[in-house]
């Protein structure tokens, strides 16, 4: 197992927490010098906050941990390709490297629909690696949305 796979496993554990809480199962961790300094999972339903994505929560936790809004030298691992909001936050935080699991064909803003983290017109670009543990990261999302489609109203029933 590579280091990227090992750390993506940690992000995946966060995604499982979201799944258990009936949130879209996306998880993220921020690493610096071989240590996790921030972690998060989607909590938009729980917090009633459209910005409570896994990446945003992990970035905020990491910034608080180091006492700085700039996360230079950090790597963000996230199970799903970040959306435009999260990609923008990654650039603003000056995160050095982004590693994601599954591409997002509906909102991916790093390679799939947009390339925000790679845009040379912005003041920072991010080293990018995608597809780490992609099958596993995709499957949990498919399982989640499959359960939602099985329900006509309300949150999905999950055990």
Q: Given this model, what pLDDT does residue 153 score?
A: 37
Residue 151 main-chain phi, psi, to 5 deg: -105, 145
- Specify the pLDDT at position 27: 98
Give the pLDDT confidence score for residue 148 in this predicted structure: 84
Over residues 10-37, the mean pLDDT reads 98
Nearest to 127 by CA among 80, 76, 81, 52: 76
- Residues that are catalytic: 55
Residue 73 · residue 93 · CB < 8 Å: no
Q: Which two tokens stand for residue 93?
A: 């935080």
For residue 116, what is the DSSP state?
A: G
Is pLDDT above 90 for 49? yes
- The pTM score is 0.93
pLDDT reported for residue 118: 97
Predicted pLDDT of residue 152? 43
**Residue with the larger pLDDT of the pair 157 and 121:** 121
């Amino acid at each position: 197992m590579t280091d990227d796979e090992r750390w993506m496993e940690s992000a995946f554990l966060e995604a499982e927490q979201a799944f258990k809480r009936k949130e879209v199962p996306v998880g993220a961790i921020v690493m610096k010098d071989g240590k996790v300094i921030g972690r998060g999972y989607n909590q938009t339903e729980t917090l009633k906050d459209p910005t409570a994505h896994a990446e945003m929560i992990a970035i905020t936790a990491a910034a608080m941990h180091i006492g700085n809004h700039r996360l230079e030298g950090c790597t963000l691992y996230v199970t799903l390709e970040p959306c435009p909001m999260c990609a923008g936050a990654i650039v603003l935080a000056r995160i050095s490297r982004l590693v994601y699991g599954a591409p997002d064909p509906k909102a991916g803003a790093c390679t799939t629909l947009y390339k925000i983290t790679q845009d040379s017109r912005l003041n920072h670009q991010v080293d990018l690696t995608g597809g780490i543990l992609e099958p596993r990261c995709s499957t949990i999302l498919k399982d989640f949305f499959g359960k939602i489609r099985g329900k006509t109203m309300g949150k999905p029933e999950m055990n």
